[in-house]
Chains A and B, each alone.
Chain A
Amino acid sequence: MESQNFIKTFNLGLIISMFLLFLLGVITLYSAARGPGLYGLYKSQLIYFSIGLVLISILVFVDSEMLQKVSYLSYAVVLIMLGLVLVVGHESKGSSRWFNLGFFHLQPSELAKVSIVMTLAKYFSDEKLGGPYTLRRLWIPLVLILPYFLLILKQPDMGTGGIVFLTAGVLILFVKVDWRSLLIVGVLGVITVPLAYEFVMHDYQRERVKTFLDPERDPRDTGYNALQCKIAVGSGKFFGKGYLKGTQSQLNFIPEQQTDFIFSVFAEERGFMGALILLALYGSYCFYSFRTVARARGKYEMLLAFGLTSIMFWHVFINIGMVIGVLPIVGVTLPFFSYGGSSLITFMLITGLLLNISRKRYIF
């Protein structure tokens, strides 16, 4: 009975999507990381994946009641970590994002995405009145989001900050916001964005925005990545240049091609066909996680699943979007593709939580 139930309720589509994505990802990583000092990165990635699998198998059996209970605790722990990383964090490329644990560089901002979703899911599932929410009733969630957002921006890590902001925002939209409040936020946004551009953003961030609007403006400097990525992706044409034959990537024209820009390697070598298949795989992952949302047995689980799906969605959209030039360049990883333990394990953590939720689905 129990084992039969397990197979029946196990979200096979999600897990297969994940495996396929990782497989393509690690193969692409092998191609992307053949330059000096990068060789063998795919091996570390395989190790992180194994760690992630262990994590998933534990998470699948955790009671979601317990997850609910630790939601606020996780919020507090991650908040402390985000504060601490600014002080004792490992500094690299001008930002302090990591705790150097010796064997592993832990990036608390990755955990922050999951933690904020858990926290908001908990808050809204405990909220008895329900939507639509007016701004006045949203002050607690906003107060919860703000420290995360600001601490991550302080690192600085625009990408993750943006993901936290968008994920939380979509989650709030999901629980339904009063349309008047929405209008006010919209108007405020239109006013504050230019102000933020002028007064809050760093110079390099402003440069990136300008570059996004006009990549040929300075092809040797800030526009370099945008332009080289565009060339890489486009030169793949329909069928791609073939595995390990992408000249843009094999000759190191694209910095960080093993992490944030790995999609350019894939698109160059696999072409439009490959890119379609990859988008379909991410689509299928999201489809199965949306199904998990729809079939979740409770409000907390549903909101949690929705938030996690949203993280996945934004990562894929922003990452590919920036590589192909529909969005400015921000540091956002491509799930299961980009090299990096924190990122990979976080996405496997998300997958584990989604699997957990789908197991205990609502029975009609």
Chain B
Amino acid sequence: MIGREDEVREFRQRVWGFQTFLIVFWAILVARLAYLQIYQGAALRKFSEANRLKNEKLFPTRGIIFDRNGKVIVDNRAAFDVVLLSQYYKNTPENMLRLAKALNYSPEEMEKRLQKIGKARSYIPVLLKADVSKDNIAAIETSYPSLLGVDIEATVQRRYPFKDVASQLLGHISEVNTADIQRDSKKSLQSGDYIGRMGLERSYDPELRGVNGVGYVEVDATGRRRKVEGAEKLLGFVAQTEPIPGNNLYLTIDVDLEMAAASSLKNHKYHGSVVALDPRSGEVLALVNEPGFEPEKISGREIDSKIWSNLRENKERPLRNRAIQDIYPPGSTFKIFMAIAAMAEGKVTKHTSHHCSGGMPFGKRRFNCWKTHGATDFVKSIRESCDVYYYNLGISLGPDLIAKYARMFGLGQPTEIKLAGEQRGLIPDTQWKQERFKDIWHPGETLSIAIGQGYISTTPIQLANAYAAIGNGGFLYRPYLVKKIEKQNGELIKEFHPELKRKIEIPQGIFDAVKEGLYQVTNKPGGTAIVSGHSKKVVISGKTGTAQVRAFSDIMRMKCESMPNKDRHHGWFVGYAPRENPEIAVAVVAEHSCHGTAAAPIVRDVIEAYFDKKNPSEPIKPNENPKEENIKVKDPIEELDGEGGDVGETG
């Protein structure tokens, strides 16, 4: 056509050549498709599943802690954390402001956080804010997709509903660090896990923690979790290991008593410690330390470093479990063991009397009593806490016999309560002196020991336990905190029974004699706690004591109250109730309170709280002794001048 027909014909033939060309190219595509979809298909299918299914750790819920009556004192609640996967996040000023608004951060704070995160590896989710509110979550969700890479993670937050009550006893939890993982011999810890850091959370961590599970969550390319209906069916094999929840603890603690003790200590405005035990079993009914802290504030994924450093550096030591970790000289509370030792060794009888003229010369110097007691027999020596009487007992016993009996009652050795960091205290003897100071024992030192000063030191729980053993007639138990451990479904795992450490082989008559003295302290005129420790509701027996913080020479003697607070003596009161077959033994140390009489009302509060709860309706028989008028007598403030403060040799 139009004269160019042969040329067109030539082209037409050439078309076939190009068509062959096309077939070759198509064949390349088909070959490649066959290679990918048939030859490599199975492997790439696996890849695609690994892509969408992220292997995720499923946290077990940590065991719940109940008190002895089944009240929840530690449990868990759902919490949500906001995390950032920086590889997907577009760091524009608009996004930064949006994020700051969603998380209630100031733009400056947000900027700082993002900068910090910017240094982390981009494919690891980094915490932006822990435990966010529902509003925060809503704000994040509605900002999708502009806030790509910002994700919400569901977590569990440990909850301590009683705030600072029993804080050092319960402890807290926190995320493991590399040192924890290396230390873990069972290899059960993974990064991101939580472990107990103090108290019961630490001691019973293996029980409470539970076992991690593994789950597969469907994630999209930005790492966001997705819920797709029937995702499991689609694949048919979404394997999952359920986490095993931690076990629950049922404590011996009565949280009501715990709170009563804490508020009594608080009301009296003292720092210190209260330990209440059941002398029939060694169950710890209350263990209080003031000041405390709020474990929940340091148990999250994100801990305010200010709160933490304040707790650590606080001079009042709120993190310290004074009841087991702090040692104090027992002061006059120690006299009871002196009395037992002397009577058991035949150095005194109930009728042995010494004359107290307000002090006694010994060696080159004079050892004072806090008061002139005159003729003092065995019971009076306890009731009125006569130092001179015990100087004499000390001289006749010597340090090694004193130590022997003190140790019988568990002093100077750990009670072996299952809490970390228990101090053993110290009951000195000649051998110890030789080893420690390469020196012989000086007789004057015996006199210090005799009234519970000098080298001697005890923990509050030791004293509570030793007095419990006096109250129950010589049964020294190992104090314990956990009655039973149960699985979360209620299945019993372990039950704890009283553990007798030893029966103290001392004639019952001796116990009766000292118990008479302890009874009179709070119930007979002249008793050092006749007002402060006396209860109209229940018969309390006990002993006051003063622990010297510093030793003063005669020249420097001054009233305790006029000293700076940090130098003031600690007041002790240790007692039990009722008089026979006691159900509760309590030791209180009121730091820097100067007198044992300061601690006695706290013991009374605790004991009364115990019996009020036990017999809510039953009016408790008022004690017939002493008479009303006697009770009005002001407490003779024991150790007014600092009992034993003039003992020269105290360390």
Interface set of A (CB-CB < 8 Å, partner B): 36-37, 130, 170, 174, 176, 220, 228, 230-238, 245, 247-248, 250-254, 267-268, 271-272, 275-276, 279, 283, 286-287, 290, 293-294, 296-299, 302-303, 306, 313, 317, 320-321, 324-326, 362
Residue B33 at the chain A interface, CB threshold 8 Å: yes
Contacts of A238 in B (CB 8 A): 37-38, 41
Contacts of B41 in A (CB 8 A): 234-238, 272
Rounded to whole angstroms, the CA-CA distance of A286 and B15 in the bound complex is 11
The minimal Cβ–Cβ distance linking B493 to chain A, given in whole angstroms, is 43
> Whose C-beta in chain A lies nearest to the C-beta of B43?
A234
The minimal Cβ–Cβ distance linking A272 to chain B, given in whole angstroms, is 4
Per-position 1/0 for B1-40, Cβ under 8 A of A: 1101001100110110011001001101110111011101
Closest 9 A/B residue pairs (Cβ): A234-B44, A237-B41, A235-B48, A251-B220, A272-B37, A234-B36, A253-B221, A235-B45, A247-B52
> Whose C-beta in chain B lies nearest to the C-beta of A273?
B37
Check A251 against B30 for contact (C-beta < 8 Å): no
Chain B 604-628 residues near chain A, CB threshold 8 A:
none
In-complex Cβ contact of B44 among A220, A231, A275, A298 (8 A): A231
Residue B234 at the chain A interface, CB threshold 8 Å: yes
Contacts of A174 in B (CB 8 A): 11, 14, 18
The minimal Cβ–Cβ distance linking A242 to chain B, given in whole angstroms, is 9
Contacts of B37 in A (CB 8 A): 233-234, 236-238, 267, 271-272, 275
With A251-B226, A299-B4, A317-B29: A290-B47 Cβ-Cβ less than 8 Å:
no
The minimal Cβ–Cβ distance linking A345 to chain B, given in whole angstroms, is 24
Residue B222 at the chain A interface, CB threshold 8 Å: yes
Contacts of B36 in A (CB 8 A): 230, 233-234, 324-325
24 pairs, A vs B, C-beta closer than 8 Å: A220-B87, A231-B47, A231-B48, A233-B37, A234-B37, A234-B45, A235-B45, A235-B48, A248-B51, A251-B218, A251-B220, A253-B220, A271-B37, A272-B41, A279-B33, A286-B22, A293-B11, A294-B12, A297-B1, A298-B8, A302-B8, A317-B25, A324-B32, A326-B32
Rounded to whole angstroms, the CA-CA distance of A362 and B15 in the bound complex is 15
In-complex Cβ contact of B51 among A231, A275, A290, A362 (8 A): A231
Seed contacts A248-B48, A267-B33, A302-B8; 15 additional CB < 8 Å A-B pairs: A174-B14, A174-B18, A220-B123, A231-B44, A231-B51, A234-B37, A234-B47, A253-B220, A272-B38, A279-B30, A298-B2, A298-B4, A306-B18, A313-B22, A321-B28
Check A251 against B221 for contact (C-beta < 8 Å): yes
> Whose C-beta in chain B lies nearest to the C-beta of A283?
B26
The minimal Cβ–Cβ distance linking B28 to chain A, given in whole angstroms, is 6
In-complex Cβ contact of B29 among A36, A253, A294, A320 (8 A): A320
Rounded to whole angstroms, the CA-CA distance of A321 and B29 in the bound complex is 7
In-complex Cβ contact of B33 among A233, A253, A254, A317 (8 A): A233
Residue B144 at the chain A interface, CB threshold 8 Å: yes
The minimal Cβ–Cβ distance linking B80 to chain A, given in whole angstroms, is 21
> Whose C-beta in chain A lies nearest to the C-beta of B50?
A231
Contacts of B492 in A (CB 8 A): none
Contacts of A231 in B (CB 8 A): 44, 47-48, 51
Check B48 against A324 for contact (C-beta < 8 Å): no
Rounded to whole angstroms, the CA-CA distance of A234 and B42 in the bound complex is 8
Rounded to whole angstroms, the CA-CA distance of A287 and B36 in the bound complex is 26
Residue B219 at the chain A interface, CB threshold 8 Å: yes
Contacts of A232 in B (CB 8 A): 48
Q: Which of B11, B38, B52, B123 has the most CB of A within 10 A?
A: B11
> Whose C-beta in chain B lies nearest to the C-beta of A253?
B221
Q: Which of B25, B33, B144, B218 has the most CB of A within 10 A?
A: B33
Q: Which of A231, A276, A287, A325 has the most CB of B within 10 A?
A: A231
Contacts of A271 in B (CB 8 A): 37
Contacts of A235 in B (CB 8 A): 41, 44-45, 47-49
Rounded to whole angstroms, the CA-CA distance of A297 and B1 in the bound complex is 7
Contacts of B221 in A (CB 8 A): 228, 251-254
Contacts of A324 in B (CB 8 A): 29, 32-33, 36
Rounded to whole angstroms, the CA-CA distance of A129 and B226 in the bound complex is 67
Rounded to whole angstroms, the CA-CA distance of A306 and B18 in the bound complex is 10
> Whose C-beta in chain B lies nearest to the C-beta of A229?
B36
> Whose C-beta in chain B lies nearest to the C-beta of A292?
B15
Contacts of B29 in A (CB 8 A): 279, 317, 320-321, 324, 326
Residue B145 at the chain A interface, CB threshold 8 Å: yes
Contacts of A233 in B (CB 8 A): 33, 36-37, 44
Contacts of B38 in A (CB 8 A): 237-238, 272
Check A279 against B8 for contact (C-beta < 8 Å): no
Check B144 against A234 for contact (C-beta < 8 Å): no
> Whose C-beta in chain B lies nearest to the C-beta of A282?
B26
Check A272 against B34 for contact (C-beta < 8 Å): yes
The minimal Cβ–Cβ distance linking A360 to chain B, given in whole angstroms, is 11
> Whose C-beta in chain A lies nearest to the C-beta of B145?
A36
> Whose C-beta in chain A lies nearest to the C-beta of B41?
A237
Check A247 against B48 for contact (C-beta < 8 Å): yes
Contacts of A176 in B (CB 8 A): 14
In-complex Cβ contact of B30 among A248, A254, A276 (8 A): A276
Contacts of A268 in B (CB 8 A): 48
Check B234 against A245 for contact (C-beta < 8 Å): yes
Contacts of A283 in B (CB 8 A): 22, 26
Check B51 against A253 for contact (C-beta < 8 Å): yes
Q: Which of B26, B45, B48, B219 has the most CB of A within 10 A?
A: B48
With A220-B87, A231-B51, A237-B38: A298-B1 Cβ-Cβ less than 8 Å:
yes
Rounded to whole angstroms, the CA-CA distance of A251 and B225 in the bound complex is 10
Rounded to whole angstroms, the CA-CA distance of A235 and B220 in the bound complex is 16
> Whose C-beta in chain B lies nearest to the C-beta of A255?
B221
Check A237 against B45 for contact (C-beta < 8 Å): yes
Contacts of A251 in B (CB 8 A): 51-52, 218-221, 226
> Whose C-beta in chain A lies nearest to the C-beta of B23?
A283
Per-position 1/0 for B211-234, Cβ under 8 A of A: 000000011111000101000001
Contacts of A362 in B (CB 8 A): 1, 8
> Whose C-beta in chain A lies nearest to the C-beta of B221?
A253
Check B22 against A252 for contact (C-beta < 8 Å): no
> Whose C-beta in chain B lies nearest to the C-beta of A301?
B8
Rounded to whole angstroms, the CA-CA distance of A276 and B32 in the bound complex is 11
The minimal Cβ–Cβ distance linking B218 to chain A, given in whole angstroms, is 7
Check A290 against B19 for contact (C-beta < 8 Å): yes
Check B15 against A290 for contact (C-beta < 8 Å): yes
Contacts of A296 in B (CB 8 A): 8
In-complex Cβ contact of A279 among B26, B52, B144 (8 A): B26
Rounded to whole angstroms, the CA-CA distance of A317 and B29 in the bound complex is 8
Rounded to whole angstroms, the CA-CA distance of A362 and B4 in the bound complex is 12
Contacts of A230 in B (CB 8 A): 36, 44
Check A252 against B222 for contact (C-beta < 8 Å): yes
Contacts of A313 in B (CB 8 A): 22, 25
In-complex Cβ contact of B7 among A36, A130, A237, A248 (8 A): A130
Rounded to whole angstroms, the CA-CA distance of A35 and B43 in the bound complex is 27
In-complex Cβ contact of A290 among B4, B7, B18, B48 (8 A): B18
Q: Which of A279, A294, A296 has the most CB of B within 10 A?
A: A294
Contacts of B22 in A (CB 8 A): 283, 286, 290, 313
The minimal Cβ–Cβ distance linking B280 to chain A, given in whole angstroms, is 64
Rounded to whole angstroms, the CA-CA distance of A271 and B12 in the bound complex is 37
Rounded to whole angstroms, the CA-CA distance of A27 and B236 in the bound complex is 27
Rounded to whole angstroms, the CA-CA distance of A130 and B4 in the bound complex is 10
Contacts of A220 in B (CB 8 A): 87, 123
Rounded to whole angstroms, the CA-CA distance of A252 and B1 in the bound complex is 56
The minimal Cβ–Cβ distance linking A127 to chain B, given in whole angstroms, is 10
Check B234 against A252 for contact (C-beta < 8 Å): no
Contacts of A37 in B (CB 8 A): 145
> Whose C-beta in chain A lies nearest to the C-beta of B7?
A130
Chain B 484-505 residues near chain A, CB threshold 8 A:
none
> Whose C-beta in chain A lies nearest to the C-beta of B28?
A326
Contacts of A325 in B (CB 8 A): 32, 36
Contacts of A298 in B (CB 8 A): 1-2, 4, 8
The minimal Cβ–Cβ distance linking A319 to chain B, given in whole angstroms, is 10
